[in-house]
Structure 1
Amino acid sequence: MTQVGEGHETAADEAGPVLTFGAPTVGEILAERYQLEQHVNNDSAGRQVWRGIDVVLRRPVAVVLRHPGGDSAAEMLQAAVAASRVLHPNLVGVYDAIDEEQRAYVVREWVEGESLRDLIAAEGPLDPARAIAIAHSVADALTAVHATGMVHGNVHPGTTLIGDDGRVVLADARADEADSVEADVRAVGGVLYFALTGHWPHTEVGRSALPDATRDSAGNPAAPRQIRAGVPAYLDDLTMDLLDRRVAAPAAEALTAELGRLDAAAEDEEFEDVGPLRFVQSGGTATEPARSAPKILLGVGALVIIAIVGLVFGIQAINRSGKPDASSTSTVGANAGAQPGADDPSDAPQGNPVKIPLTADMVRIVDAPGGQRKDTGEAKYTVDGDPDTAWEMSWYGSANFGGLKDGMGVLIKLPEARALSDVRVVTSAPGAAIDIRTGKSDPGDSTQGDKKILKEYTKLSDSDSDANTGDHQTLTGFDPNQKYQYVLVFVTKLPKNDDTPGYQVDVNEIELYGY
């Protein structure tokens, strides 16, 4: 069970001061009422989160403490007082807010369960129906908050709690002048995106404890359907519309209505019959997101073009009737030129991708021509499940391996071809450019074999080191209708390493996901 306090999803060890003077202890009773039972964790601002007992009402509570109190705790206490006035089944109840000058604390409802962040870390991305249900609950909670004129300001997977009884609650409002109703609504899109993909799409969180979304050269996150199979198109559109600031954000109540409609459709397993997105605004009229009108026009235009082309080909077919056609037995499929092992599109994988177990005998180092192959044998450290071990590269005088070679990588050789989803790479520092490449065979663990791999393998993804601000990267590009057996994770650019004379990075973990 993990409870979180106020604050965004930044890593706790990079946060502000941790409570030291006047630090609480197990068994201590605060305000002659709240007995501290267990220190759960520290949130991103250095506040301590405790599980406690209200000795008067004999109920479990969560206690969030910060040091010092006084003026520095005013924002936290004001947000707690405001939140206490909103009663809703999808909002964590706030019971008390106390300032002792040396320290201040907020007492709130204890939710027996786990955060969405921890749920995804343990189980991976959720199925669309469950993701919709969670986002629906969060939007419903925000509708209640916004109806009072308040802003929550702290909606993310760490403050979205999933109770053991299935209840979804939003915790720890933290609004300040920079927060807005629109930001709350777009954060629901972030929660939905995270539930579907396991990645956080909002860049304003900064160096986040959550895995960053896969992004294009402009910094835009890849759509959920590009990351995993089985995400319905209407849900993909809704998620990306909420994240796209060019598309007007709906009111929380309109988003709740739409998610409620989708939630009901998911319960009845009628995904294909939900129809177009429709945000019902407070005026009672149905409207489409700002981007829907161009989509409809584009669709109508496409139908007109198809009709014209069909008419032309129909006339030609009539004119050719009775004449032998030498090419009538030729077939050009969607998989023309595909890698051997590709399946028919009807066999595309369904469901959530799973982590594929990798062992030391399934990986090896590939060194581009010009390399000395000194790292042979270190690939095993990237798949041993231990983040403290790593393939430690040598350092170079420039980011492009000192101009000596194109790069280095780890070749994964699966026992048999299978459908793949993505590759997840953990490095010792941000800024490394990494791509994935696939081929038909391993020509051998030798200089000539490596040279042949780099010549013949097909690159599926590109990575710009300037855009890689995190040390966790997710690489996509696999065709869901194909199966792959040989995958090369290839580093093409190194980050500056302040601990060495030049450019260097360690590859700590490589994980492969598929179906």
Structure 2
Amino acid sequence: MNEKRSEQSGNARVGVRAKGGSLAPGSVVGDGRYRLLAQFGIDERAGAHLWRARDGQLRRDVALTLLVGDSADAESARLARKTLERAAHAAKFDHDGVARVLDVLSLGNGIASSEGLLGIVVTEWTKGTDLIDLVAEHPVAPLPAARMVEKLAEAVERAHHTGLVLGLDHPQRLRMTTDGTLRLAFPGPLPDATLRDDVKAIGAVLYLLLTGRWALPGGPAAIPAAPHAPNGRLVAPRSLQPQVPVELSSLAVRTIEDGGHAGIRTSAAILRALEMAAEAEERTQLIQAQAAAGVKTEDDGTIWTTKRPIKDKARRRKLALGVTVLVVAAVGILAWLGMLAISFFQNDPTSGPAINVAAPTATAAPPPNQAPPPPASPTGQAIGAPVAPAGISVFNPDGDGDNTSRANKTIDGDPTSFWRTDQYNQQFPTIKKGVGLIANFTGQINLAKVTIAADSPGTTVEIRVADSPHPDLASTRVVGTATLNGATTDVTLQQPQRTQYVIVWITQLAHAAGKYQSQIGELTFLPAQ
């Protein structure tokens, strides 16, 4: 039933394009061997038409990737040959996440010149659901989405070990199988596709499942394109769907974007991150289910059920009497100890006035009307009065903003109001390199010290300076570091820095109860005099 709906929607959605006008249900291709049944998509980048067909010789359904083009165009013919060569190499690859390549036909070798085709990739048919139909009504829940993509990531990892590029960077080439995993149903990588393109495609598929939007160029018109922020960065899935966990949201963005050292560039890395994110989401759902059922979980993993207290009046009276006796006894003991102390000091004949044994100091006190000198930096330069920023915002080059609406709480003069990071299941840099705040001033200041009021012991921060309000992390400069410990922490720069943009960058989060999260109450910026 799902398959029939997919075929019908595929025909209505894609239609027949002019350059493949001879392709229609009922037509035969491949020297009359394959009868076309239903079209499931078009990859416009390669002129690849994706069809379900019937193999008349072996009497079975197959998937056809038909390369449509003009055989007289030498460049089109060359690109088609490159795609066919890559598909032929994939015929030796065996994995459940990729449909098995059965045959590769080229012009003059299984394809007649009258068919208007440059090549055909024949693969086994994948039963299941069209990926576009899967997200047509609503996005997929985070945990199923992570599990669905894992099989695809495993296939990419194994293929890359053999040097193969799979070419799964188009959603209509993928289908969900009957066992709930994703599969590359129409292999045929683009001539210039790289290993990196496969990795980015995994992130794009995860993004599609979580949001219903496609984040790579060249996607089908049936799927809305993913939005981008004014600075050009991809909007995180969590911003579109708040129920998406931070780990999965960041994983999708970091895999798609080329974020330098912050990006995920290998299939092995994304597979490990997917497994950890899925396990974390499973634990979260288990805890939520236990809480809904009246089950509590201790930090050591022990599970116990709460019971309504027994209303035993006699037992309660005995307990109250015992508590009263203990309180009276404690008060009596304290009074007796107090009397002993008073008696001791009153009867000591040798007691006298306190003697000052401190050595005299050579430093004279300042005159009554002279203010003490201002504090100095390690270089001996005096530090001036605090300078208030013109504004402050969350700095997150990975694309996910943590609690962006509360960033201004760190400069409102009230240490009891605070900005807090998202709560993470893994410490930085497992999911992303870090997160922070960027303060901007009306003009350049000669920054000498930053004071951080925060109740997040163990948080490691870097003070960075930047040359623009929206910098990449790699373009910023580290000028001071500290580990927060206590109510306030001073980060004094070795040398004052002239800058208009100051970043407080968190590289390690505070750890409590198996979670990772930090908060900042107030930031004070002090220049050199």
Bigger Rg, structure 1 or 2: 2
Q: TM-score, normalised by structure 2?
A: 0.47
Structure number with the bigger relative contact order (C-alpha 8 A, sep ≥ 6) is 1
